[in-house]
Amino acid sequence: MADAALTAVTQPRARVRKPNPRLWLSLTWILIVVVAAVGAQWLAPHNPLEQDLLLERLPPLGFSGSEASYILGTDSLGRDVLSRLIYGARIALAVALAASFAACLTGSLLGLAAGYFGGWTDRIVSRFIDIWMSFPPVLFAVLLVAVLGTGLGSVILAIAIIDWTRFARVVRAETMVQSRMDYVYSARIGGATRLRILAAEVLPNVLPTIAALLALEMGVAVIVEAILSFVNLSISSDSPTWGSMIAEGRATLHFAWWVLVFPLVVLFLTVLSFSQLGQGLKDQFDPLSR
């Protein structure tokens, strides 16, 4: 009996994983944006392109002169700000998902190959990354869109072409670290092929880093799309985007502050949520963090 009690006291207790508030708060906001984007045609109270100059610059609900059907007010053309924000989430998420996954796939494959095989493969990929990163990213994106032409496909392609280096560099470094671990040597002694070791041993331990980078890249893609639409190099100017709303709100800041403030707040929260989601996923699933 005494031995059992002593064993219970001396045995270390299993560590209880505390919930990560950053992860859940960021997931909640991103889920709100996703629901708004998917259900825009049902959630938006008005047509985002409908203009009514008699309703121009209506303040948000609660301010003098507001109307109940325009919760966040209207812009200088009488268009509903809330409806434009909801439809703008579609463009932001489409660019974030498509461009980020394209950059992730390209950069991760090159980073895995360079970090694991080394030699001439590593030298070629590393030099290519250095050359590519010598171009200023935002200016490079503007140049690519100007050459490719405006449109959603051009924006996605430009971001993917620019940001694959982010994945390649980090994944290469992480792969080199994992390749020197004892479990890799054990797999080699066991007779596993190099490709099998890469796919079954190294890649699962690099995935938390890739997931964190992917979430971070989604936030970067949202910012780049907003910058391009701010300078009218994204999709058609008739389509509501957060960047174009910010550009319009900047011109009418002294008369209708809400046209600028609300898209800025939504953009900030979305980018911050993607960033915190990436760090939260790494903390949650990284074996070293656990």
pLDDT surpasses 70 at 112:
yes
Q: What is the DSSP letter of 45?
A: S
- pLDDT tens track for 44-75: 999 998 888 888 899 998 888 888 889 999 99
Q: Which CATH superfamily is domain 87-290 in?
A: MetI-like (1.10.3720.10)
Cβ 74 vs Cβ 58: under 8 Å: yes
- pLDDT tens track for 117-169: 888 988 999 998 888 888 777 778 878 887 877 788 888 888 888 889 989 99
Long-range contacts of 25-31 (CB under 8 A, 24+ apart): 25/273, 25/276, 26/272, 26/273, 26/274, 26/275, 26/276, 26/277, 26/280, 27/273, 27/277, 29/269, 29/270, 29/273, 30/270, 30/273, 30/274, 30/277
Q: Per-domain residue ranges for the chain?
A: 87-290
- pLDDT tens track for 230-259: 888 877 667 889 998 999 898 888 888 999
The CA distance from 122 to 47, in Å, is 52
